[in-house]
Amino acid sequence: MTYTPYAENGDCKTADAVAADIKKIAELGFTTIRSYSTDCGVFEHVVPACQEHGIKIIYGIFLEAGGKAGKGPFSDYANEQLKTITDNAPKDSVAMVIVGNECMFNNNCQAEELGAYIDYVRNEFHSCGFPTDIAFTTAEPVGTWEEKGAALCSHIDVFCAQIHPFFTATVSASKAGEFVAQQLEQAAKVCPEAAARGKYVSETGWPSAGNPNGDAIPSVEDQKIAIKSIIEKVGSEVCLMGLVDDTWKAPGTFGVEQHWGCVEALEAM
């Protein structure tokens, strides 16, 4: 499950709020969370709570625009996150490391520089004594993998795609799992060697409110149907987004960006 420790107003959650969230994630049966960056008390609050409940962490290094001189690969912004993780992460806590989140999709990274940075991050982890079987990769939507991703194949250990069935107007909630499974197989063909070592959906889910997108209806009931379908089809390969609604986000396309929290849907199963 994805986890961002932000309160409704965008401030950082308190230690108690984080502890309650992680406890709930554990109670729901999740073994791993995905963190996108190192801000907002990840090592002060999130990691200790995960350690308490035996939850592994997919650590993230968030990349933005500007390359080395800005907030892209090899920048101080990126390298500070990297050092924070290697300095503070318990060596038995790391499930995976995802370098960049839709960085190429947002036109913030070129494949060649992103690939080189993934290699650099891997080498830094190894030099700091982390287990050599930790997988290093990045996360992009299916279309971006197909358009730009081939240059990354030799740099990633496993394959991760972002797949959100809601944004395909012909996919209803009941077809969400089938769609995610099909899209993962399709995208994985870009990097078959990495996919053979492991292929995952680094972000998926269904919104509980907002405006319809054709057959894709954002509602509490449709979210329950979609999440159940996704878990049944590809449950062991997906990272659900997320525990609670991100009310601090802008409404976004179809007004759904604040409404991906799926704790109620999971509790109803």
> pLDDT tens track of the chain, all 269 residues?
999 999 988 999 999 999 999 999 999 999 999 999 999 999 999 999 999 999 999 999 999 999 999 999 999 999 999 999 999 999 999 999 999 999 999 999 999 999 999 999 999 999 999 999 999 999 999 999 999 999 999 999 999 999 999 999 999 999 999 999 999 999 999 999 999 999 999 999 999 999 999 999 999 999 999 999 999 999 999 999 999 999 999 999 999 999 999 999 999 88
* Reported pTM: 0.96
- For the chain, the maximum distance between any two Cα atoms, rounded to a whole number of angstroms, is 50
CB atoms within 10 A of CB 65: 13
Domain positions in the chain: 15-157
**Residues belonging to the active site:** 102, 203
Which top CATH class is 15-157?
alpha beta
